[in-house]
Structure 1
Amino acid sequence: MPLGRLVQVELENFKSYRGHQIIGPFHQFTSIIGPNGAGKSNLMDAISFVLGVKSAQLRSGQLRELIYRGAAATANDASTPPDDIDSLRPTTCSVSAVLETAEGNTLVFKRTVLESGTSEYRVNGRVRPYEAYNRALEQQNLLVKAKNFLVFQGDVEAVAVQTPMDLTRMIETISGSAAHAPEYERLKALQNRAADAFASHFSTRRGITAQVKHVQAQQDEAERYESVRNKQRDLTTRETLFRVAATQSRLVRARDRLALHRARAAQAQRALGADAAAQQQRRRDLARAQRDLLTQQRRAKEARRARDGLQPSALRLQTRRTHLEREMERVRREREREAAALAEQRETAAGLTRQLQQMDLTLEAFEAKASRDVRFGEGQITKALVKAYDQTRRQVDGMTESERERLAALRRAERQARHRRDNAMAERDMEQPKLDQVVAALRKHDAQAEALTARYDVAQLALDDLTTRQQEADTERRRLMQTEADLNERLKETQRALVDARDVQQLTARETRQRETLAALTRLLGPGRVHGTVAELGRPVHERDDHALSVLLGRHADAIVTDSKATAMQCIAYLREQRLGQAMFLPLDTVEAPRDLDRNRETVRRLPACALALDRITFDAPFTRIFQMALGNSVICESLDVARRVVFDHKIQVKAVTPDGDVVHKSGLMTGGQRNTIAGARGSSGNRRALARRSDERQLNQLLALRTQLAGEMADIIEAKRNVVPDETFESDRARLQKQLSQIVQEQQVLSSTRSGQVATRDALQARLAELTTAIQQHGSRLAEIENEIREVDAVLYDVEKREFASFCKEAKFKHVRDYEERYLDLNSAMEAQRLALKTQTAKLMHAMTFAQERIDESVKRLAEFDTTLSGFGVSLAEIDAEESKLTEQTAAMDKDAEALEATVTSLTNQVAELEAALQQERKAQAAQRREADALAAQTAVGEAELERVRADLDALFRRCKFEQIHLPLAGSDSDFLAVLASYDAEAEAEALASQAEDPNEEDDMEVDGHPTAARAAEPATEAMTAEIAALEREREALRAQLERMAPVHVKEGNLASAQERLQRSTAASEAARREAKAAREHFQPVRQARFDTFMRAFEHISARIDRIYKLLTASRAMPTGGTAYLSLENSDEPYLEGIKYHAVPPMKRFRDIEQLSGGEKTVAALALLFAVHTYRPAPFFVLDEVDAALDNTNVAKVTNYIRRVVSAHRRFIIISLKHAFYERAQALVGIYKDQARASSRVLTLDLDQPADAAAAPGPGPAASTTLAAAAAPIAAA
Structure 2
Amino acid sequence: LQIHYKRTITHPGSCEYRIDNALVSAAQYNQALESHNILIKARNFLVFQGDVETIASQSPKDLTKLIEQISGSLEYKPEYDKLKIDHEKAAQALARSFHERRGVNAEVKQYQEQKIEAETYATKLDKRDDAVVTHILWKLYHLQAKIDASRNESKHDQLALLNNQIQEHDLNLDEARKMQSKLNKNIMKQERVIKRKEKTLQDKLPAVIAIDEKISLEGIKLKKYLLRIESIKTNRQALVLQDLQTQLLVVEKAAKKFDDEQAALARKKGTVLSDHDLQEYRSLTNDLSKEAASEKARLTQLLRQQKTEQENLKNLQGKLEQLEWQANRLLEKDLASRRDQVQSRGNIANSDKRASRRPQYCYRQQEDEPSRRIVRAYPLQICANQLLQVNADQRESEKQVRLKDTVLSLKRIFPGVKGRIVDLCSPSQRRYDAAIGIILGRNADAIVVETETVAKECIEYLRDQKSQPRTFIPLDAIQTKPINPAFRGIHRQAQMAIDILRYETCWEKAMHYACGNAIVCDDSEIAKHLAYEKKIDSLHSTEPSFIKPSPEMGRPGSLQRLKESLVAELAELQRTKKSCVVEDSLKTDLGNLQIRLSALLEKLNDTELNLAKNQAELDLVQRQIAEMTPNLDSQRVSHATLTEQIEKLQETVNVIQDRIFAPFSQKIGVNNIREYEGQQGKLQQEAAEQRLQYVTQLGKLQNQIEFESSRLKDCDERLERLTELMQRDNSAIEGLARQREILSTQMDQLEAELEILRQILASKRGEYAQVTENVNERKRAASQVHKQVNIVSKQILALHAQVERLMSERYAVLRKCKLEEIAIPLVSGSLDNIPIDEVLPSEDILQSPDWGIEIDFDELDDDLKQNGSENQEQDLIAQITALTNELQTAPNMKAIDRLQGVESKLHTLEKDFDKSRRAAKITKDKFNTVRRKRCNLVAFEHISEQIDQIYKDLTKTIAFPLGGTAYLSLEDEQEPYLDGVKYHAMPPMKRFRDMDQLSGGEKTMAALALLFAVHSYQPSPFFVLDEIDAALDNTNVAKIAAYIKEHAGPGFQFVVISLKNGLFHQSDALVGIYREQQQNSSKCLTLDLRKYDTI
State the TM-score, normalizing by the size of structure 1: 0.33
State the TM-score, normalizing by the size of structure 2: 0.38
